[in-house]
């Protein structure tokens, strides 16, 4: 694989030089390159610098994605634990921004992983806890709330 460097520029003017192999994890860039609209620097209007740097960090670790058949358990475990640490440090707002950016960049691996992280915050929690975690208010009318409670009564009182 050629060690071509690609320059990415964030919406707020930060520049990142990365290997082509890493840039190819972002399908939006692959499409740009195929359509020959990738010039020297690729502007990414929908991603700010701080988020882009996190995404690039993740992409670099995952550039050699092991295939399903790979027997290297050790390497998989190490990668998983790196992934977990990567997400642990991030607050919810950042994770949301990463989801939006990964969606825009069409970076499926990170999009799935970040979405799963948010899903894990929702799993096995009561509605009160979920509201607390995501800073959400109950905006149902009393009638709506009564109806919804009744419909979902089977999930409570476990």
List contacts with another protein (CB under 8 A). 96, 99-100, 103, 111, 115-116, 118-119, 122-127, 130-131, 134-141, 144-145, 148-149, 151-158
How far is the C-alpha of 31 from the C-alpha of 99, rounded, in Å? 20
Structure tokens at 85: 């640490």
Comparison of 31 and 131: residue with beta carbon closer to another protein? 131
Q: Which helix (H) or strand (E) holds 116?
A: helix 108-122
- At its nearest, how many Å lie between another protein and the CB of residue 77? 22
- At its nearest, how many Å lie between another protein and the CB of residue 108? 11
How far is the C-alpha of 100 from the C-alpha of 114, rounded, in Å? 10
Q: At what angle do helices 73-88 and 49-61 cross, to 10 degrees?
A: 170
Comparison of 19 and 83: residue with beta carbon closer to another protein? 83
- At its nearest, how many Å lie between another protein and the CB of residue 154? 4
How far is the C-alpha of 47 from the C-alpha of 69, rounded, in Å? 34
Rounded to the nearest 10°, the torsion over CA 34, 40, 41, 42 is -10
Comparison of 65 and 129: residue with beta carbon closer to another protein? 129
- At its nearest, how many Å lie between another protein and the CB of residue 3? 34
How far is the C-alpha of 99 from the C-alpha of 93, rounded, in Å? 10
- At its nearest, how many Å lie between another protein and the CB of residue 14? 22
Comparison of 35 and 143: residue with beta carbon closer to another protein? 143
Comparison of 11 and 115: residue with beta carbon closer to another protein? 115
């Amino acid at each position: 694989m050629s060690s071509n460097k690609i320059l990415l520029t964030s919406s707020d003017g930060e520049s990142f030089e990365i290997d082509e192999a890493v840039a190819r994890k972002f399908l939006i860039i692959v499409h740009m390159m195929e359509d020959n609209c990738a010039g020297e620097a690729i502007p990414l209007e929908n991603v700010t610098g701080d988020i882009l740097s996190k995404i690039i960090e993740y992409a670099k670790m995952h550039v050699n994605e092991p295939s399903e058949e790979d027997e290297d358990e050790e390497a998989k475990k190490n990668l998983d634990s790196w992934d977990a640490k990567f997400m642990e440090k991030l607050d919810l707002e950042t994770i949301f921004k990463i989801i939006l950016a990964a969606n825009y960049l069409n970076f499926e691996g990170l999009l799935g992983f970040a979405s799963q992280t948010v899903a894990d915050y929702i799993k096995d929690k009561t509605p009160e806890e979920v509201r607390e975690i995501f800073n959400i208010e109950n905006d149902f009318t009393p009638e709506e709330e009564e109806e919804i409670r009744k419909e979902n009564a089977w999930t409570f009182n476990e």
